[in-house]
C-alpha cells in the first residue's frame, strides 16, 4: 500500500511539492485545487492591463502531470480538516452533488493554499477597489480600466469624465508599481488616437504607498530608480500616504496630516494580502495563534504543532529564520518550501534515520518591472535597473512559464505589444462583472 | 456639415459598411456596439472547445478604425429608435449614469444587430442548453464541457458519471457539426491520460438534427461525407430526430415516432437563431410583419418601408432575391449588404443621379470543418472534402481574421494543437458561470 500525499493548492508551493514527488516509488499524490489550472501570478497584471490572455499565464494542472501516473488532480474546494482522522473535507458545490466524493484521506498532508486580498478591516472596500490575486480579479480590473475610457467617451458631464479617467492604485509593492505603469502606458500609447472626444493621455494615475518609498522591500537605490521611472511615465507617486476613506466615485488620501479627496471611478487595490482562510482554520484546530496577516506559524521543518505529518507552506505561513529574517511571501520561497516538505516526506517513507530538520530560504534575488523596458532587480549584492533589468525580468518570467507553447505565445504577444504598444487582449466581457462589479 | 451615418452593430455587416465609408469626404460615421470588439464568430466553437483564447478571435473596434478620423466608436446598447426624429436611443446602463449621452442622431442609419439563439418557443431551455453566439456563450460551454469531466472524476455514482460524460449537441448545421467533432477530439485526444478514475474517451457525443441529413444547406454528397467523418470520430449522429423535452440531467429525443431518453448533464444548443430584437422593434414602428425567425423583410435596396434613409442588413433581415432564393444568414452576405448600403449612401451624398437599386448576393461558396483535418467545402460547382477542404478552411479563416497579430497567434496555437492535441485555453473561470450556469 503506497503512501498517500495530499497537496492542497496548485500554486507555486503546491506545484513544486507535487513535482518533487513525481515518479517516486511507494508514493501516491493527490493535488487538490479550486481551479483546474496553475496560475503564473507574477504576470497577472499583464492580464489586468490587456497585454496577455488569461490562458497565456494559466496552464491546466492535469496536463502538467499527465505523464506522472502517481499524481492525480482533483478539482475541489477544501472547507475543513479532520486532523486526527487524517482526511480533508471538500465542499460539494451545488446541492445536486451529494454523490461527489467529498472526503480525501491522507498519510501526509501539504497545505499550500496561499493568500487572499487584504483590506485591513475595511472588507467593504473590496467591492469598490478590486484586488489582483485571481484571473477573475484581473478580468474585473481589465474591464474597469477599459470600460472607464469607453464611458468617458459617452460622458457629457466634465467632472464625471475626469473621475472616469482618474486611476488610483493603492500600494506600491511590485504589483502596484507594475499596474500603475501599465495603466499609464495604456492611456498614453495603447489608446492614443482611438477616441474622438476624450484625450486618454490626460488620464491621471496616482500610486499611493504608506511607506516612505515605492517597492519598500527593495534596496533604497532601486526604490529611487523605480520612482523616477514612474514619474517619467507620468504616474503621480504619493509615498508616506494612506487611504482613509473609500466611496463610490471618490477616495480620501491622508499624507502628513493633510487629507486630499480624489474623485475617481477606478481604485485598484495592491496594498496587502492575508493568508488564506485555511490558515485560521488550522490555527483553531491546533490551538495556535496566527501571526501578522493571519499567517500560520509553522515549525522549523514546516509542520504544524502536534502533527508532524501535516505541512503548511507558502504565503499562508509565518516562519522566522535563524538569521532573524522572515521567509518572504514570494514564489521562490514557496517553491523551496514545497521541495523541502517533499524531501522530508520521502525520507520518512524510505525509513531513513535522518530527515531534513530546518528549512532555510535561499534568496536568489527579486525584481519588479515598471513598464515598457524599465525594471529594477537585485541579485545577491548586485543591484541594477532600466533596460538590462527589464530584459532580465522578461527572460526570467517568460522562461518560468510552465509550457513551451505559452512561452512562444507570450513572446509573440510581447514582441507585438512592444512594437505596436497594442493591447489586443482588452476584451470587456461579462466575466469581469462576475469577477468584480 | 458632413453627412452623419450611424451603424448599429460591429459584426461582419456593420464592420463592412463602416470600412466602405472610411476616408469618404463629407461622411462621418458612428459605429455603436454593445461590445468593444468585433467577434469573428466562425471560430467561436474553437473558444468553446478550449482551442483558442477569446482575444484570438475578438479585436477591439477602436483599434480597427484608429487611423480613420471620420469614424467614431461608441460602446452602447440601442434600445429604441426615433425614426421621424432621426435618432437612436441608447440604454444608460446602471442608474448612476444619467449624464451619459443616450441619444445619437443620424442622417443615414444602418442597422446590423445580427441574430440571437432561438429555442423555438422553449426559451426556458436556454438555461440548460446554452447556445453559441457570444464570447460569454463560448466560455459558458467551455466551462460546461471541462467541468463535466472534472466532476465525473470526483463522482461516486456510476449513472451520474455516465450522464456527466454524455454530450448532446442539438442541431447539425456548421456550428453543431464543428462542436460535436471538437468535443470528441477533446475526449479522445486532449484529455487522454489526464484522468485517473474515468476514461474520457468513453464519453458519448450525440448530434441531433431535425432534417434528414447533417449540414442540410449543403450538397447531399458533402452531407454524406461529413456524416461519415463524424461517425469515424465516434459521434453518434441522429438525423430526422428532434428534441421534445429538456430537463436538468436528461433530454428526450424523438425519432420516427419512437422516443428516447438520454441522461446527460451537457446539452448544447446549435439548432437555431432568430433575428435580434431590434428587428421586431423596427417592424412595430413601420407596421411591417416580421418573416420567419423574426427577420425583418427589407426592400430590394435594403431600406425599410417609408424610410429610405434607414437600412437593415445581415442575419436580422429577410430578403427574397429575383432568383427566388433567400439571401442566406452567412458572413459574406452580411458583408456584401454592408458594402451595398454604404454605396447607396455615398451615391446620395455625392448627389448622383442613379443609386444602386437592387442588392444581389454573390455566393462564393461555403465550408464547414468536422474536426482535425476534416472538412467539407463547396465553391461554385466545385465540391470537395477531407484534408484539402480542411486546409482551405483553415487558410480562409485564418486569413479572414482581422489583424496580423491574431493571424500568427492563431496559427501558432493551431500548429501547437495540431501537433499535440492539446487545448491549453481550457480555463474553467467564473465568467463561464456568469455566461451560462
Domain positions in chain B: 3-34+76-117+274-349, 123-271
End-to-end CA distance of chain A: 49
DSSP B271: S
* B2 and chain A in contact, CB less than 8 A: no
Q: Which of A51, A90, A98, A99 is the best residue to mutate to test the B interface, defined by the most B CB atoms within 10 Å of its own CB? A: A99
Burial of residue A171, with CB atoms counted within 10 A of its CB: 0-12 exposed, 13-18 middle, 19 or more buried: buried
- Give the bridge partners for A110, in sequence order: A7, A311
Q: Which residues of A touch B47 (CB under 8 A)?
A: none
Residue among A90, A89, A83 nearest A311 (CA): A83
Q: Is A259 helix (H, G, I), strand (E, B) or coil?
A: strand
State the catalytic residue, choosing from B150, B153, B155, B178: B178
pTM for the model: 0.90
CATH fold of B123-271? FAD/NAD(P)-binding domain (3.50.50)
Q: Write out the three cell numbers for A101.
A: 466524493
State the catalytic residue, choosing from A178, A185, A209, A346: A178
User: Do the first three CATH levels of B3-34+76-117+274-349 and B123-271 match, i.e. the same topology?
Assistant: yes
Which pLDDT does position A236 carry in this prediction? Answer: 97
* B97 and chain A in contact, CB less than 8 A: yes
For the domain covering B3-34+76-117+274-349, report its CATH number.
3.50.50.60
- Give the bridge partners for B342, in sequence order: none
Spans in chain B with pLDDT lower than 50: 431-437
* Beta carbons within 10 angstroms of residue A404's beta carbon: 10
* A252 and chain B in contact, CB less than 8 A: no
Nearest neighbour of A403 by CB, restricted to B53, B424, B429 = B424
Burial of residue B62, with CB atoms counted within 10 A of its CB: 0-12 exposed, 13-18 middle, 19 or more buried: buried
Q: Which residues of A touch B263 (CB under 8 A)?
A: none
User: Which are the contacts of A107, defined by CB distance < 8 A and separation ≥ 6?
Assistant: A3, A4, A5, A86, A309
Q: Write out the three cell numbers for A308.
A: 508532524
Quickly list H helices, A39-84: 44-48, 54-57, 61-64
* A411 and chain B in contact, CB less than 8 A: no
User: Are A99 and B248 in contact (CB < 8 Å)?
Assistant: no
User: Which are the contacts of B162, defined by CB distance < 8 A and separation ≥ 6?
Assistant: B204, B263
Nearest neighbour of A36 by CB, restricted to B72, B139, B146 = B146
* A99 and chain B in contact, CB less than 8 A: yes
Does the annotation mark B254 as catalytic? no
CB B69 within 8 A of CB B413: no
User: Which are the contacts of A117, defined by CB distance < 8 A and separation ≥ 6?
Assistant: A126, A131, A132, A133, A137, A269, A272, A273, A274
Can you tell me the ipTM of this complex?
Answer: 0.88
pLDDT tens for B300-334 read 999 999 999 999 999 999 999 988 889 999 999 99
DSSP H helix total and E strand total for chain B: 14, 25
Q: Which residue of A has its CA nearest to B420?
A: A405
The overall average pLDDT reported for chain B is 90
Quickly list H helices, A92-186: 125-128, 135-154, 158-164, 174-185
Q: Which residues of A touch B60 (CB under 8 A)?
A: 194, 424, 426
Rounded Cα distance between B155 and B426, Å, is 21
* Beta carbons within 10 angstroms of residue A345's beta carbon: 25
DSSP B295: B
Q: pLDDT means per 10 residues in chain A (437 residues)?
A: 95 96 96 94 90 88 93 95 96 68 95 94 88 93 94 93 97 94 92 93 96 92 93 96 92 94 96 94 96 96 97 97 90 96 97 94 86 81 85 80 68 72 72 33
User: Are A422 and B412 in contact (CB < 8 Å)?
Assistant: no
User: Which are the contacts of B116, defined by CB distance < 8 A and separation ≥ 6?
Assistant: B133, B273, B274, B275, B276, B277
Rounded Cα distance between B370 and B175, Å, is 9
Q: What angle do CA A300, A303, A308 make, to 5 degrees?
A: 120
End-to-end CA distance of chain B: 50
Amino acid at each position: 500500500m503506497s503512501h498517500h500525499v495530499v497537496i492542497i493548492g496548485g500554486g507555486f508551493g503546491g506545484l513544486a511539492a507535487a513535482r518533487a514527488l513525481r515518479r517516486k516509488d511507494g508514493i501516491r499524490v493527490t493535488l487538490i485545487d479550486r481551479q483546474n489550472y496553475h496560475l503564473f501570478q507574477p504576470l497577472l497584471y499583464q492580464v489586468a492591463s490587456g497585454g496577455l490572455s488569461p490562458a497565456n499565464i494559466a496552464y491546466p494542472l492535469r496536463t502538467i502531470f499527465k505523464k506522472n501516473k502517481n499524481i492525480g488532480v482533483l478539482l475541489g474546494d477544501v472547507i475543513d480538516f479532520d486532523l486526527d482522522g487524517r482526511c480533508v473535507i471538500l465542499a460539494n458545490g451545488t446541492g445536486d452533488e451529494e454523490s461527489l466524493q467529498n472526503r480525501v484521506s491522507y498519510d501526509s498532508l501539504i497545505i499550500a493554499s496561499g493568500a487572499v486580498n487584504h483590506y485591513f478591516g475595511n472588507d467593504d472596500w473590496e467591492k469598490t477597489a478590486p484586488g489582483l490575486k485571481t484571473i477573475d480579479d484581473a478580468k474585473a480590473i481589465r474591464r474597469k480600466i477599459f470600460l472607464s475610457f469607453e464611458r468617458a467617451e459617452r460622458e457629457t458631464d466634465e467632472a464625471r469624465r475626469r473621475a472616469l479617467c482618474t486611476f488610483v492604485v493603492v500600494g506600491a509593492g511590485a504589483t502596484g508599481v507594475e499596474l500603475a505603469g501599465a495603466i499609464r502606458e495604456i492611456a498614453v500609447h495603447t489608446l492614443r488616437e482611438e477616441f474622438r472626444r476624450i484625450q486618454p493621455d490626460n488620464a491621471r494615475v496616482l500610486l499611493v504607498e504608506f511607506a516612505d518609498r515605492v517597492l519598500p522591500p527593495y534596496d533604497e537605490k532601486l526604490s529611487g530608480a523605480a520612482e523616477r521611472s514612474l514619474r517619467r511615465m507620468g504616474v503621480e507617486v504619493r509615498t508616506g500616504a494612506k487611504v482613509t476613506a473609500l466611496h463610490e466615485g471618490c477616495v480620501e488620501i491622508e499624507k502628513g496630516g493633510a487629507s486630499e479627496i480624489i474623485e475617481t471611478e477606478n481604485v485598484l487595490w495592491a496594498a496587502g494580502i492575508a493568508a488564506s482562510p485555511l490558515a485560521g482554520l488550522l490555527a483553531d484546530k491546533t490551538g495556535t495563534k496566527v501571526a501578522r496577516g493571519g499567517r500560520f506559524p509553522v515549525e522549523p521543518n514546516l509542520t504544524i504543532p502536534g502533527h508532524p505529518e501535516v505541512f503548511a507552506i507558502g504565503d499562508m505561513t509565518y516562519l522566522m529564520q535563524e538569521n532573524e529574517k522572515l521567509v518572504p511571501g514570494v514564489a521562490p520561497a514557496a517553491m523551496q518550501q514545497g521541495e523541502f516538505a517533499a524531501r522530508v516526506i520521502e525520507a520518512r517513507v524510505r525509513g531513513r534515520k535522518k530527515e531534513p530538520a530546518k528549512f532555510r530560504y535561499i534568496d536568489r534575488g527579486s525584481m519588479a518591472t515598471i513598464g515598457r523596458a524599465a525594471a529594477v532587480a537585485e541579485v545577491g549584492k548586485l543591484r541594477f535597473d532600466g533596460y538590462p533589468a527589464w530584459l532580465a525580468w522578461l527572460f526570467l518570467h517568460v522562461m518560468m512559464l510552465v509550457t513551451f507553447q505559452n512561452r512562444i505565445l507570450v513572446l509573440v504577444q510581447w514582441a507585438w505589444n512592444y512594437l505596436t504598444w497594442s493591447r489586443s487582449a482588452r476584451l470587456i466581457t461579462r466575466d469581469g462583472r462576475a469577477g468584480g462589479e
